[in-house]
Structure 1
Amino acid sequence: MSDDLRRLRLAGQIDPVDRLRRDLPDAWRGPVIGPDIPNWRTAPGAHHDNLILNGLPETFQIELAWMAHWQEVVDGTPASVQPINQFALVLRLAMKENKPFPASVREMSWETAEALLAWFYATRWKKLLPEHGRSRLRAVFRFARWAMIARCHDGPWWELDVWHPRCNPRIPISPREPHNSRVTPSRIKHTWLRAAVKWHLGTSLEAGTMRWSTISQTRLLVRFDRWLTVAFDDSTDVLGDSAAAPAQAAAFRHWDADPANRWLRPRDRSEKGVVHPRLINNDLQAVGELFAFVAENATEARSILGPSSPWQRVTEAHAASWFHQASLRTPRQHDLNDEHYVDDHALAQITAALPLIGLPRGQHMTVTRSDGTQVSAEGFGDPQAMRMILLQILTGRRASEVRICEFDCLSSAEGPTDADGEVARFRYAQSKIDIAPDTILIDREVAAVIEEQRQWIREQFPNIDPRFLFTQRISNLAGSKPYASGTYGRALRNFSDVVQIRDSKGKPVKLSHTHRFRHTKLTRLAELGLPVHVLMRYAGHATPSMSMHYIAARQEHAEQAFLATAKLKADGTQLAFSHNDHDSLHLFNRADRFLPHGWCLLPPLQNCDKGNACLTCSVFVTDASHQPALERQLAETESLVNRATTAFQERHGRPMPEDNVWLLQRRAEHAALIRLLGTIREKAGRAVQGAGCGPAPTGPVPLALDLDRHRRTRP
């Protein structure tokens, strides 16, 4: 067809192939691409330096040339010369052998291309398709092909089966949101459901009611799609009589509660076990929101989804039934716990072994694991990941807020100073909450880590103007891509496997769950006594309740705080008035808590069941003011044991057995007194809690509080 006829035909609409041709500079047109392109790069190991597309139909030549141009110029990835040349060779052989294939790369699915490549290997090389051949084909049929399909698409961007901001600039996304994640509506197999999901989520994203970083309904609705397959012969029956909707929602809840239905991989089922009710409610909520959206926009649904679409039968009653099922929540357990808290024991192991991540490959470092064993491990060669996890520990920022923060993220802070001098202001990549702040004050230690990373970027990428503080090292010629989240998670998982970190309770600490460092940092700030509004400002939250969700209610801290208020001020300094005055202030109405050799910190709602065995009780507390009484009790205990054992020897003609009930108790008291007095001498001026109750008195003390006792009526 002549150019004049083509222009006449495209007066109303541009042909996709012509659109791709117009995007290509002259140097990128022609059967051989490369010699006339300045700074032409090819991947290491390529058999040819140039793209060889001769002998292919014009459509394939333009498409493959556009894909290589997008990789090299737009995406900053070296053009996939060898994979594209191999694919062109496959197409030429298929044309020679009269093997049919689609008319364009856009129309060719991954399954069709893989089958064609397998045929090529079997025909030409007489062998099965190797994995490296499949990997080369993947380089052609992933990002570059998605970008080409998006460029040729004239309708709304959400009509496509793959959404990726890296490949489609029309997707609404803020500059601070990650561009390397994708949403795949094509995973939904029912076409009538997939069309509505695309419309619903795409419209919500454009309207701002959803954000790209939190758009997860596609994943949730994939489970709904699978349930339709097993629950109905005709999946559209779910949109039938609204009277059946409550029973259908209940059936979906029952199905979704089974881990075998929710998680397809056996590893996920074994690791996660029981499905939390909140996750099931999220799935029900997503279905209800979809039904409500279509019902509220019935006129638009008729034109977008078609007049004969089964969605014409959906009503607000359907949505209400699913929302009602989602509202049937189980009793909410207390959110405040220390499950996500990383204690000092684990943090000490992490910081000691952290240089291993930044150590160059080929060099080894001796790492001490939590069980005391030492192993020699090879360096990971990733100093960026080392500094990222260190910043998360020191600042409590989310992984995305550190990973995609800007290169120029430091500024001077006027006014406040710390003990060592002025502090700086750190601008992190706040992308989750629009109204939340995006800066915090940092000390010199954090600023030094950031400056060290900036200097490393300047040395590694001297010819670019970096946009991000942490930059992707490969396929990033322009330096416009941040450090990939998958690479970060993989490095931390491998590091955890090598170091095998455990906390003081023996529980493993997986560094791939980096959000626990945010819980830890906010918990420590709260334990320092920061006001709620200050804590909320530091966390970057919009509500105090969200900040409180991150605070770990550590029983150990609660006991230490109670003890500190009894003997020390909140800042750890000594009280200016008498210890006795302070004790009386707190125990004024609890005279039964005054003991001859200390005080009893048992909560008022609980009765003591230990009798006079205070020395081995974890809530017994004393200090140096009771040292004479304790020393006198030690001497009396020794004298009592000597008299009793001597009398037993004289009466029975043999020594008193060590497992004697009375002797066991006296031995325990004697050992507790020695340990208690030793602790008082070592820590002069400090209160001692439960010093005689065992070898590790710093751990949490179990207390069974009777919270209903004070409500009971007495006759």
Structure 2
Amino acid sequence: MVQKNILTFPTIPEPALSRSWETAWEKVPAEWQEPVYRLDRAPNNRVFVRNSNYLYSNKTYDYRTGHTLADQELAWYIYTIWSEGTLKVDPAMLRWYVTSTQALIDRQPAEMRDTYSLANIEPYMLIKEAARAFYERNERYPSPNNLKNVESIAKNLYQHLTVRCSDTPWYEHDVWNMRLDSRIPRRENEPHAERVISLEQLTQTWLKEAARFWFSQALTYGYYTWTSVASRVTYLNYFSRFLATYEHTPATLGESLGSIRKLTTAFTDYLKNPVEGCHENALSETTIGSVTSTLQRFYEFAYENKDLITETTHTEAWLNLTADHTRLFPTYRRKKKGKAHPVTFFTSDELTLMLAHLDVLKTPMTQQVTVQTPGAEPATFTGLGDEQAARAWMIQALTGRRASEILMMDYQPLTMLDVDPEKIQEDSFIARMTYQQTKVDGVEPTILVDVAVVNIIKEQQAYVEEKYPGLEHPYLFPNPRANFTGSRPRSYRSYADTLKRLDATVKLTNKAGEPLRFSQTHRLRHTRATELLNNGVPVHVVQRYLGHRSPEMTMRYAETLAATAEAEFLRYKKVGSDGRDLGLSAKDLLEISQLDHRADRILPNGYCMLPPTQTCDKGNACLPCGAFATDASYIQEHRDQLTRLEALIEARKNQYKARRGEDMPETNVWLTGRLREKASLEAIITKLENEAAQNKAVSGAGTSGRVALTLLTNPAKNGTSPIVQPNLRTQR
């Protein structure tokens, strides 16, 4: 049954002040109202990039076009990016932009030139003129990089004017930019506010306008987050490019269910095969599923709201939608959700190796650093010069927080606890850290942190104070680029790009030869969760610490921990007291040791396989016992025990001879028992040293002819409850 999505048209509250050009121009101070600048003096030197052809000398640079409105708009733009500290401009590229703009305006009728707005010059028009003028002057076309630089100025200025200086509702623009338009609905702490959404690639008007309505509704009423809308726009772009290969495809896609299915089947095949100019490689099943489900969801919404969409888009075809459009794809194509991806984490050795190489990220780019790790030759690297990224990574490793939760933290995230300074130890909790919860609602975003985390945060605060002196600091991790006042948090893309450069520089691998990537920051969260569970922290406490709304996600880490413990247990072959293989499978042996949680079954040198209903009457005489089992993980303990036993035998023999004047006979009761223990230890050590580890059972120890034990399972417990019964056949 289709979920109802009937909505009313969104009522977007208008800002208190008009967004018209007149209002914007009134905010520009008198000293900024002419596009004439001294590049070597404050405040202009903060908005212009240093260019060797524009020396910082006693010279004024004039960027006026000679046309009143265009000059005012250019001056407003330069003032805006200076006051917000978001961008810098290359003076040479700005000169190129101005001369191209002047040429375009000069072609207009004389009476229109002084009132001609730069908002009328779309970026593609300016780029075309800039390339033409360059070719006319140099008899060659400009380099792609230079053309891209002047295009960047044209796009930014155009978007600033069309968004900031007009009363057009935010959703009527083809480009949605949270940084430019404060009217766009958003979460309180949007972790991907730097991401820009563009509807320009939806080339079919009916598709673009309907998608505009759908996504504006979703953002206004909170059905989708900003990142969800961005992903769905990308998915609809595939459909738009596919429709471009068909002529006159209507919004209904066809006149019957058969014709609709024919089109959507062709679309699915289109996604599965590489298409030049669209996707060079075949898309994964997951991506294809996301694309088709987005298209299905879009048509379900359109069907339930076809009257509103028709009124909004002025496309009558939407009225012809039927229930057939709620099942674009056959149900058999919809695969059940597979098992969740396994939780992966870094081992302690891997984490130690990565932390040793984190110095490469901290070191300035003008210096080199040598890293020494155990068992490896010293390696020298050129620094990457991003110490705040290194601190963010370390806080993630120590706390298990998500990257966005750390990058968007307030400048002062700590609340110190009332702790006696004299009693503080290295691992003591001394503060409560407030992070930015960006994924799950209804979770208290605070955790206890120890001395190490507090010290890292204080180092980062000192770094911010030094880089942005005398300014307010809203964020602990300010964005390193286009952020000259430190007012914007570091973007995830900037952080991820830096870590990827570190990966490419150090190229770390684990013992299996698989790459260890700093950029896989979510594995740090898995690592911390597994560490907490491994230390016996209750699941509900770990759930609270990780910020999970329900215990289901937390239990994934518990399952991974159990799987890891099982894999570690099964690595080793189990042998009995006389060194012979046990007659139990390794998995059965694991179940016995886990299901019977008695401390007396875990021995210093192995395991006690005595049935749960029986009690031990041998004291500490485990080696001669047939219920004793061990594996290669205890081999050093066996060697040490053998050394101690040999020393004990030799000492007792010497005492016996000193007292009686003769050697201790082999028939001595005490010596007989010790020699039997020695033989058992030697057999165990020889077996474990000579045989390669195999994932199978090893037979029980004890004397020859003993009644062997066979492991059975109880069907009522799905084969998980071990029942031990005697085997009637006697070993020969």
TM-score, normalising length from structure 2? 0.72
Aligned partner of 2:473 in structure 1 is: 466
Classify the secondary structure of the residue corresponding to 1:425: strand
Question: In structure 2, which of residues 402, 407, 410 is the aligned counterpart of residue 403 of structure 1?
Answer: 407
| 1:382 shift after superposition | 0.9
Query: In the alignment, which residue of structure 2 is the partner of 1:194?
Result: 208
Structure 2 CA distance, aligned partners of 1:17 and 1:99? 22
Secondary structure (helix, strand or coil) at the match of 1:423 reads strand
Question: Residues 630 and 331 from structure 1, CA distance in 2 versus in 1: closer, same or farther, beyond 3 angstroms?
Answer: farther
Indicate whether 1:137 and 2:150 are aligned. Answer: yes
1:499 matches 2:511: no
TM-superposed deviation, 1:264: 4.8
Q: Does the 8 Å contact 1:336/1:549 carry over to 2?
A: no
1:87 aligns with 2:97: yes
1:219 counterpart = 2:234: yes
How many Å apart are 1:27 and its aligned residue?
Answer: 2.9
Partner of 2:396: 392
Alignment of 1:428-507 (within 5 A): 428-507=435-514
Matched, 1:583 2:613: no
1:299 to partner: Cα distance: 2.6
- CA deviations over 1:141-190 (Å, ceiling 9, x no partner): 34443222112342321221111111111112234213211111212222
- Once residues 335 and 611 of structure 2 are traced to their aligned partners in structure 1, the CA distance between those partners, rounded to angstroms, is 41
Deviation at 1:427, TM superposition (A): 1.0
Secondary structure of residue in 2 paired with 1:365: strand
Distance in 1, Cα, partners of 2:712 & 2:322: 48
Residue 22 of structure 1: CA displacement? 3.6
- Asked if residue 121 in structure 1 is aligned to residue 134 in structure 2, the reply is yes
Deviations 1:533-573 (A, max 9, x none): 222211112122233345562644225579999889999x9
Percent identity among equivalent residues? 21
The answer on 1:148 being equivalent to 2:161 is yes
Shift of 1:454: 1.0
Corresponding residue of 2:218: 204
Instruction: Give SS of 1:537's match.
Output: helix
Q: What's 1:664 paired with?
A: none
> What is aligned with 2:285?
276
In the other structure, the counterpart of 2:194 is 180
Task: State the alpha-carbon separation in 2 of the partners of residues 589 and 256 from structure 1.
Answer: 64
In the TM superposition, residue 40 of structure 1 has moved relative to its aligned partner by 3.0
Q: 1:297 maps to which residue?
A: 305
Distance change (3 Å), C-alpha of 1:200 and 1:415: farther
Q: Which moved further from structure 2: 621-630 or 340-349? A: 621-630
The match for 2:68 is: 58
For 1:570 and 1:212, locate their aligned partners in 2 and report how far apart those are by CA, in whole Å: 51
| SS in structure 2 at match of 1:180 | coil
User: In the TM superposition, what is the alpha-carbon distance from 1:377 to its structure 2 partner?
Assistant: 1.0
- Mapped to 2, the partners of 1:343 and 1:261 lie a distance apart of 41
Residue equivalent to 1:70: 80
Distance 2:465 2:98 in 1: 39
For structure 2, list consecutive stretches of 5 or more residues without a partner in the other structure. Answer: 1-16, 571-588, 617-621, 647-679, 698-710, 720-732
Residue pair 2:346, 2:524 contacting (<8 A) in 1 also: yes
CA distance in 2, matches of 1:574, 1:193: 67
Structure-1 separation of matches of 2:683 and 2:189: 57
Deviation at residue 205 of structure 1 after TM alignment: 0.8
Change (3 A) 1:579 1:137: closer
**1:188 counterpart SS class:** coil
- For residues 608-623 of structure 1, the aligned pairs below 5 Å read none
Aligned-partner Cα distance in 2 for 1:620–1:410: 45
SS in structure 2 opposite 1:475?
coil
Distance 1:287 1:187 in 2: 16
User: What stretches of structure 1 of length at least 5 have no aligned partner?
Assistant: 1-12, 602-614, 633-671, 679-689
Deviation at 1:92, TM superposition (A): 3.2
Q: Is the 8 A contact 1:467 1:480 kept in 2?
A: yes
Which residue, 105, 120, 123 being the options, matches 1:110? 123
The 5 A counterparts of 1:571-650 are 583=608
Q: Take 1:398 and 1:583, find their aligned partners in 2: how far apart are those partners?
A: 43
Letter of the structure 2 residue corresponding to residue 88 of structure 1: V
- Per-residue displacement from partner, 1:37-86 (whole Å, max 9, x unpaired)? 97333322272876634344334223222221221113443455443332
Structure 2 partner of 1:376: 380
Q: In structure 1, how many angstroms separate the alpha carbons of the residues matched to 2:370 and 2:540?
A: 44
Residue in structure 1 matched with residue 543 of structure 2 by the alignment:
536
Q: Which residue of 2 aligns with 1:43?
A: 49
Going from structure 1 to structure 2, the CA distance change for 1:67 and 1:574 (only over 3 Å counts) comes to same
Q: Which residue of 2 aligns with 1:645?
A: none
**CA distance, structure 1, for counterparts of residue 613 and residue 163 of structure 2:** 75
Instruction: Rate the CA distance shift 1:547–1:24 in 2: closer, same or farther, 3 A.
Output: same
Letter in 2 for 1:394: L
Which of the two has higher C-alpha Rg?
Answer: 2
How do residues 556-575 of structure 1 correspond to structure 2 at under 5 angstroms?
Answer: 556-560=564-568
Residues 581 and 130 (structure 1), Cα distance of their counterparts in 2 relative to 1, 3 Å cut: closer
CA RMSD of aligned residues (A): 4.7
| Partners of 1:511 and 1:94 in 2: CA distance | 49
In structure 1, what is the equivalent of residue 267 of structure 2? 252
Q: Are the equivalent residues in 2 in contact too, given 1:618–1:701 (CA < 8 A)? A: no
Q: CA deviation at 1:356?
A: 0.9
Distance 1:111 1:580, change over 3 A: closer
Show the counterpart of 2:342: 337
Change (3 A) 1:332 1:174: closer
Equivalent residues of 2:370, 2:379 under 8 A apart:
yes
- SS of equivalent residue, structure 1 residue 119: helix
Could you give the per-residue CA deviations for residues 514-533 of structure 1, whole angstroms, max 9, x where no partner exists?
22222222222223333222
Please tell me whether the aligned partners of residues 471 and 483 of structure 1 are also in contact (alpha carbons under 8 angstroms).
Answer: yes
Shift of 1:35: 10
Report how far residue 305 of structure 1 moved.
0.9
Partner of 1:431, secondary structure, is: coil
Q: 1:344 to 1:253 in 2, by over 3 A?
A: farther
SS of 2:135 mapped into structure 1: helix
Q: Distance in 1 between matches of 2:187 and 2:549?
A: 19
Rounded to whole Å, the distance in 2 between the matches of 1:396 and 1:570 is 33
SS of the residue aligned with 1:187? Answer: coil
Q: Which residue of 2 aligns with 1:27?
A: 31
State the distance in 2 between where 1:511 and 1:580 align.
38
- Structure 2 counterpart SS, 1:329: coil
The whole-number CA distance in structure 1 between the counterparts of 2:516 and 2:502 is 11
- Flag the 1:240–1:85 CA change in 2: closer, same or farther, 3 A: farther
SS at match of 2:253: helix
Q: Is the 8 A contact 1:28 1:34 kept in 2?
A: no
Does residue 354 of structure 2 align to residue 354 of structure 1? no
**C-alpha separation in 1, matches of 2:374 and 2:124:** 48
Residue 24 of structure 1: SS of its match in structure 2? coil
1:646 corresponds in structure 2 to none
Shift in alpha-carbon separation, 1:467–1:251, aligned structure 2, 3 A: same
CA distance in 2, matches of 1:232, 1:557: 60
Q: Displacement, 1:510? A: 2.3
What's the CA shift for 1:452? 1.2
User: How many residue pairs get matched?
Assistant: 618
SS, match of residue 244 in structure 2: helix
The Cα of 1:501 is off from its aligned counterpart by: 1.2
Amino acid in the other structure paired with 2:520: H
What secondary structure is seen at the aligned counterpart in 2 of 1:299?
Answer: helix
Aligned pair in 2 of structure 1 residues 132, 444: CA closer, same or farther (>3 Å)?
Answer: same
**Residues 1:446 and 1:97: Cα distance change in structure 2 (over 3 Å):** same
